[in-house]
Amino acid sequence: MVVAARFEHFRHGADIGVRGIGPTLEEAFAQAGRALTAVMVDPELVAPRESVAIACTAPDRETLFVDWLNALLYETATRHMLFARFAVRIDGERLEATAWGEPIDPARHAPAVEVKGATMTELAVRPLPEGGWLAQCVVDV
């Protein structure tokens, strides 16, 4: 059985959980990136016009996942960009990714909330019993 790539949100107190599910670990991380964007604005409204390279390293998958989402938030804050599409490569402790998006256009995007950071709360990076991978945590809003 092939697991369909998708993202979901779940409530966690005042904050929002993001969950990426994919047939591979890399796709689960990419879908979690879409879930992070979707907290702020519908990713379908974001055109993948510009690319940004992101790299991070961490001693385990869970920390790598949180570092990945925080790197996306850093790029959103410093470049004033939203992202629609992701290509993620993971090799042991190293993640290399390309994120495609566009600068925030208040007329089209109007972010619903400001995401402050990804946390280790409700953190899970694991294979799913039916195949594929899950990557989830909570983001502070």
Please write the tens of the pLDDT for every residue from 13-71: 889 999 999 999 999 999 999 999 999 999 999 999 999 999 999 999 999 999 999 99
Q: What is the DSSP letter of 44?
A: G
Q: Which pLDDT does position 1 carry in this prediction? A: 67
CA 25 to chain centre: 12
The residue type found at 22 is G
**Could you give the percent of the chain with pLDDT greater than 90?**
89
Q: What is the CATH number of domain 6-140?
A: 3.55.10.10
Convert 20-29 to b/e letters by CB count within 10 Å (16 or more is b).
Answer: bbbbebbbbb
